Structure 1
Amino acid sequence: MRIPRIYHPAPLVVGQTIALSDDAAGHVGRVLRMSAGQTLELFDGSNQVFSAEIVQADKKQVQVRLLGSETDNRESPLFLHLGQVMSRGEKMEFTIQKSIELGVNVITPLFSERCGVKLDAERLNKKLQQWQKIAIGACEQCGRNQIPEIRPVMNLETWCQEQDDALKLNLHPRASASINTLPLPVERVRLLIGPEGGLSAEEIAMTARYQFTDILLGPRVLRTETTALTAITALQVRFGDLG
């Protein structure tokens, strides 16, 4: 059986005996039904991974002893900040999960004119908590040891006008440039993905004022969640660590 990878939200030190977080303990104790003497791999958001042995486990609490550690850097040389206009239902969760597997470092959910999601502050906060759990789960699954940042939801123009030395890209079906025509080298990218209905003409003009470059992925019109993952993959192949 593959050794489970578990995130711990506090710095880890070899030799410690610690209690796992409530979510992690529930997964290890109730879902995996692991018991004393079995081993885990823990990570704390640094590039260190820790081998650990369970010393006590029940349905409410799991305690482990940290046996050793090693450096394990799985991060791409390309720093990617995804600005994703929120999509309905499970599409947003899917985009967050898969973009993290592909190496995105920061995700900012956005509101735009044609955004189909309308949520009050309380529901937005619950969504943010759920997205953060999805980010942790994606890292546990894919082997990343640094947890990407999921930022609070903001307005599209507020995000576009943030000061950033990254290359700013906006996917547009009538753009003349493509990812393959972008000049090398590129170390940081701020990638904007619009809503299911696309950005309005006014919003596209606004992104140009903030020095976003329109790029084309190909001849077919992609759904918003497909667009994000395709663009991230293409950027990682050209500037990052895929391929």
Structure 2
Amino acid sequence: MPRIWCDEPLSPGERVLAGEAARHVQVLRLQPGAPLTLFDGRGGEWAANVTRMGRSDVAVAVGVHDPVEREAARAVHLLVGMPANERMDWLVEKATELGVTSLQPVLTARSVLKLEGDRAAKRQARWQAIAAAACEQCGRNRVPKIAAPVALHTALRGAGQGGRVVLSLRAGSQPLREAAGAAPAVWVLHGPEGGLTPQEDDAALAAGFAPAHLGTRVLRSETAAIAALAVLVFS
């Protein structure tokens, strides 16, 4: 059954969908009477039926709320040294499918992708839309927050309480699972192509991040983020 994300709170009764939600229904060529599932990112999902197909909007009848949740047992927040080109789009999609709680793009000394101002805002909106579409596909009812890009020092200050780890090649780093421990929420920092500089690595350690590794192989930036997320979500 099609799943559609709505960016406004849902409740039982007649409702008009507009914007991306309406376009999604139209692309699927659903007809009046067709069943679908709606979710607004606030928990659970709603049974609904199409009642009218318009040119720019779609009317639906919203029915029963199902409080089902499909979130990971542990909250994992990624602080991502942004990979270049379309790899960030791929990373947002796959991280959402795996269950990331939030994703903070980070500007570092070796970042190839430099975003600020209008470009950053437009790219953030694109990434947030990718996350919503991934939730529609994978069954999640809570859309992870994809934040606007910030400098590394801002990202370090914004990390919450819980486990803090930085993927690091320095001597003495622990396997990721050991470094994160049993914390119910974990913030994972990793660098872009080329990694963090030694100074950035030091700044992360000074901010309370423990050095961690994913084994002996050198992974691409986006691969490392997904591997770290999988280790923490499924451990």
Scaled to the shorter chain, the TM-score interval is over 0.9
Deviation at 1:183, TM superposition (A): 6.7
Maintained 8 Å contact 1:111/1:153: yes
Q: What is the letter of the counterpart of residue 228 of structure 1?
A: A
The 1-side partners of 2:142 and 2:44 are apart by 9
Answer yes or no: is the 8 Å Cα contact 1:26–1:59 preserved in 2.
no
Does the Cα contact within 8 Å between 1:106 and 1:149 map onto a contact in 2?
A: yes
Q: Which runs of 4+ in 1 moved over 4 A?
A: none
2:83 matched to 1:87? Answer: yes
Residues 32-111 of structure 1: matches in 2 within 5 Å? 32-111=28-107
| Range moving further from structure 2, 172-181 or 54-63 | 172-181
The percent identity for this pair of structures is 34
Equivalent residue number for residue 4 of structure 2: 6
CA change 1:101–1:26 in 2 (3 A) is: same
8 A Cα contact 2:105 2:149, kept in partner? yes
What letter matches 1:193 in structure 2? Answer: H
Q: What displacement does 1:87 show?
A: 1.6
Distance change in 2, residues 1:163/1:95 (3 Å): closer
1:118-137 equivalent positions in 2, closer than 5 A? 118-137=114-133
Q: Would the aligned equivalents of 2:165 and 2:180 in 1 still touch at CA under 8 Å?
A: no
Q: Distance in 2 between matches of 1:63 and 1:162?
A: 41
Aligned to 1:154: 150
Match in the other structure for 1:241: none
Q: C-alpha displacement at 1:77, in angstroms?
A: 2.0
Shift of 1:162: 3.0
Deviations 1:213-238 (A, max 9, x none): 11110111000010000000011122
Q: Is there any run of 5+ residues in structure 2 with no aligned partner, and where?
A: none
Q: Please report the TM-score for the alignment, with normalisation by the length of structure 2.
A: 0.95
CA RMSD of aligned residues (A): 1.4
Tell me the TM-score normalised to structure 1 length: 0.92
Quote the offset at 1:180 in angstroms: 3.5
1:188 corresponding residue in structure 2: 185
Tell me if the contact between 2:163 and 2:180 (Cα under 8 Å) persists in the aligned partners: no
AA aligned opposite 1:73: E
Q: Match of 1:214, SS?
A: strand
Is the 8 Å Cα contact of residues 165 and 179 (structure 2) preserved in structure 1? no
Contact 1:107 1:149 in 2 (8 A): yes
SS of alignment partner, residue 47 of structure 1: coil
1:173–1:221 CA contact under 8 A, matched in 2: no
When residues 180 and 140 of structure 1 are mapped into structure 2, their CA distance, relative to the original with a 3 A threshold, is same
Q: What secondary structure sits across from 2:234 in the alignment?
A: helix
Q: Would you say 1:213 and 2:187 are equivalent positions?
A: no
